[in-house]
Amino acid sequence: MTFGPNLRKARKAVKLTQQDVADQLGVKKSTICGWERGHRTPRKGQLIRLATLYRVSADDLLDLPPIPENIPEPEFHPVPVIGTIRCGFGGVVTMDFDETKKTELSLLNRHRLDDYYWLIAKGDSMIDAGINEGDYLLICREQDVDSGTIAVVAIGDEEATVKKFIKKRNSIILQPENRSYEPEVFVGEEMNTVQVIAEVIEVRKVLKKRQ
């Protein structure tokens, strides 16, 4: 069995359509079709999200083992939705929600359960990373992340934003994922004003936007 058919079998095992998967990942249905036909392959981050959605490991998908027809239901834990966050510069985290969201325990395996929370994305500066207005972002508290990671970053005492965090020897770059926006670059002592708060580890799409 090749990689594409294995993806298709894993998707059908959890009773999802190609459109369901496309909506969850923020890509077109034709992209999912191309992956399953073997015309293209998902990026590493997309592969991890596919594995989570299909309730298998990324290694399972890559190694192409037999996938059972009936996969046990996942275990869930209620994770709080604590507010919204701007994806543009000059944003803040608005903590004015009293809500929880059922979250697969398989996503909550890095730290203590209370290190996780959900935020709702505002703005359009990260749309090319599949983060759109109204999407739910699963956040894990981290003080440091690898360069190239999408993270919640504080600038100064109040400003916070979601950006791709790029750290170089003499600079920090907060990179939008929208060509309409310019990156913000911090050098020298300015680098000390940038603080990683958390890593974005999951994006949940919403079909109906909040009013």
Q: Which residues are marked as active site?
A: 125, 163
User: Which residues neighbour 69 within 8 Å (Cβ) at sequence distance 6 or greater?
Assistant: 13
| Whole-Å CA distances, 209 to 134, 176, 206 | 6, 22, 6
- Kindly give the residue spans of alpha helices, DSSP state H, lying in the chain: 3-13, 18-25, 29-37, 44-54, 58-63
Tokens representing 209 are: 């936007």
Q: Which residue has the tokens 């911090």?
A: 186
Which residues, in sequence order, are bridge partners of residue 58? none
